[in-house]
Structure 1
Amino acid sequence: MGIDPKTSVVNPKGKVWEVDNLYVADASVLPTSVGVNPMITICSVAYSIANFIIRDDMPKSKI
């Protein structure tokens, strides 16, 4: 996850730089391990990315 497509696979909203309409919303967006028992961190990342998808990319008629 990052702001530069040259150094990251997804942007801060979880959207893959090189593939349209593809999002990653799990631990693979994190550049390193977050430590022991990362469930809450991973759930928070997934929840945030889901909100970005709903708010920014879904047609307003489907919300």
Structure 2
Amino acid sequence: MENGDFISVNYVGKYDNGTIFDTSLIDVAKEAGLYDVNSSRTYEPLSFVVGKRQLIRWF
């Protein structure tokens, strides 16, 4: 990876205790109880440009 590269990643966000709070994977969302059939949310990879500071630092 280099600055300026456009990439897409799947992710699972967890608290220190292991509780999942967000994900790009629908199966993980369903298993964690995050999926809401009535939501307009789409589960897809997160896309960004490397080096453009489009994400929070720890990601």
Structure (1/2) with the larger helix percentage: 1
TM-score by length of 2: 0.29
Structure (1/2) with the larger strand percentage: 2
More contact order relative to length (CA 8 Å, sep ≥ 6): 2
Q: Which has the larger radius of gyration?
A: 2
